[in-house]
Amino acid sequence: MLLVTGGAGYIGSHATRALAAAGHDVVVYDDLSEGFSDAVLGKPLVVGDILDTEKLQKTLKDHAVDAVLHFAARCYVGESMQKPDLYWRVNRDGTRSLLKAMAGAGVGKLVFSSTCAVYGVPDSVPMHEDTPHRPLSVYGETKAAMEGEIADSDVEAVVFRYFNAAGASSDAVLGERHDPETHLIPLALMAARDGATLTINGDDYPTPDGTCVRDYIHVMDLADAHVAGVQRLLAGNSGLTANLGSGRGYSVLEIVEAVRRVTGRPLATQVGPRRPGDPPALYARAERAESELGWRPQFTDIQVIVEHAWRALRD
Ligand code: UDP
């Protein structure tokens, strides 16, 4: 049995579905602050707070859990700067609570959702796993602290540092539902749908077309990596830290073009100021996930990623 914290959220729900499809029994633990109960697709759901160590421990014991996948966290860079205490509490203290519950229940295997935000502005790209941690946001700081808590604990852990999660399940059953939405692809799709204007956050960066370059990785590929990660631990192998990215970057303008092609709509844009803290280009060196886990992203065509996001876009 596997416990998925945050399994009703965007990435957690795709992972829960992939784990079940791979034959694992799954129980989801989520406070539904950001997630949706219908996204667990009928799997057992325990509605609880990540800070409620007792409830977590009871859930681990009651369901005879063998390993945990920990997605539950606050995940907005901008919000983290406005509400740092919330981020330290839910993210770092929440991880402490989970680790304590796992120790109490005798569960020693963990797959953890981390982020390339722990790297901040790297000296060079692509970024590898040993790129120094210099997070720019409280969000990135708390994720680095969560990694630290896990490293200091006794659990065997697979730590994944995601680049820009994007897309949706190819059958449009699951998708990205953030409120408020801050991510480029859904915002561009919504603007195309509604005839609104997308603001491009700066076009004077030192990149080929002047707009920021990011590594967009399909959420179904992320989900598959989690299946491989937990299976590695269940087989008794050691943990590891690995980037999850495609290894190639797309600029904001390339995303805008992809959105126009996929939607067939004339997406209007305007250039606004740079967004504070935005590094010009971020993309992964992701060979470790391939060599250690045999994982390689299947959906590397940005058009396909945008198409899946478009099909799953809700009103
Ligand atoms: N971006 C933009 N307009 C928007 C939203 C995002 O130009 O309305 C840019 C953003 O500044 C960044 C890139 O798109 O350079 C990706 O942003 P997103 O928030 O999706 O992911 P991040 O890389 O910040 O995690």
pLDDT digits (tens, 9 = 90+) for 262-315: 999 999 999 999 987 788 999 999 899 999 999 999 999 999 999 999 999 976
Q: What residue numbers bound the domain in which 25 lies?
A: 2-165+216-244
Active site residue 10: no
Mean pLDDT of 216-242: 98
Mean pLDDT of 112-119: 94
Domain presence at residue 253: no
**CB-ligand 1 contact for 105 (6 Å cutoff):** no
Nearest-CA neighbor of 246 among 108, 155, 116, 120? 116
pLDDT value for 205: 96
pLDDT value for 123: 86
Mean pLDDT of 153-176: 95
Mean pLDDT of 103-126: 94
pLDDT at 136 over 90: no
Domain presence at residue 65: yes
Catalytic residue (one of 10, 29, 87, 139): 139
At 247, the pLDDT band (50, 70, 90 cuts) reads very high
Mean pLDDT of 219-232: 98
User: Higher model confidence: residue 299 or residue 77?
Assistant: 299
Give CA angle at 308 (307, 314), nearest 5°: 105
Instruction: Please name the residue that has the structure tokens 């680790």.
Output: 99
Domain presence at residue 280: no
pLDDT value for 180: 85
Half-sphere exposure of 83 (CA within 13 A, CB side): 9
Domain presence at residue 231: yes
Q: How many domains does the chain have?
A: 1
Domain presence at residue 46: yes
CATH of the domain at 134: 3.40.50.720
pLDDT at 42 over 80: yes
Domain presence at residue 203: no
Domain presence at residue 66: yes
For a mutational test of ligand 1's pocket, the pick from 136, 205, 222, 275, i.e. the residue with the most ligand atoms closer than 8 A to its C-beta, is 275
At 148, the pLDDT band (50, 70, 90 cuts) reads very high
Give the sheet arrangement for strand 240-244, strand by strand.
Answer: 45-47, 26-30, 2-5, 67-70, 109-115, 156-162, 240-244
Inter-residue contact 256 to 269 (CB < 8 Å): yes
Half-sphere exposure of 280 (CA within 13 A, CB side): 11
Inter-residue contact 292 to 175 (CB < 8 Å): no
Domain presence at residue 176: no
